[in-house]
Amino acid sequence: MSEMERTLAIIKPDAIARRIAGEILSIIEQNGFRIRAMRMLRLDRAGAEGFYAVHRGKPFFPELVEFMTEGPIIVLALEREDAIKKWREVMGATNPANAAEGTIRKRFGESIQRNCVHGSDAPETARFELGYFFRELDLV
């Protein structure tokens, strides 16, 4: 049996603007995740640059920062067995055109950037990303 694991999920500005956050939250719960913390916020430039610092210097970095600051986001701490792997399966491939049928990005994503959701890609990333938005006391 796998151990319980936590991952960060973000419902991105495009999904909030299109009013599909509720559907995404429903999909999260239907897939066995427990929401341990949730917060709606709006990233400023410094916040987005800090969160995506690993991508600084890449050609898409300025557009990514611009996109992630254009409106509110919902950040979530999700928990279940194999949470990182399972959330990545539920999200689908980064490019919605390549995502499997039924995944969030296939259903709702418009482009590689405007793909509605984010998820941590590894345990180390999840620790950093969860800590970026939540203090340990916030996680219920």
Closest CA to 132 of 21, 70, 53: 53
Quote the CA–CA distance of 10 and 3 in Å, as a whole number: 23
Residue 55 among the catalytic residues? no
Choice among 118, 126, 129, 134 that is catalytic: 118
Contacts of 117 (CB under 8 A, 6+ apart): 9, 10, 11, 12, 15, 24, 91, 104, 105
**Cα separations in angstroms, 28 against 16, 78, 136, 138:** 15, 9, 21, 19
**What is the CB-side half-sphere exposure of residue 111 using CA atoms within 13 A?**
7
Give catalytic residues, as residue numbers: 118
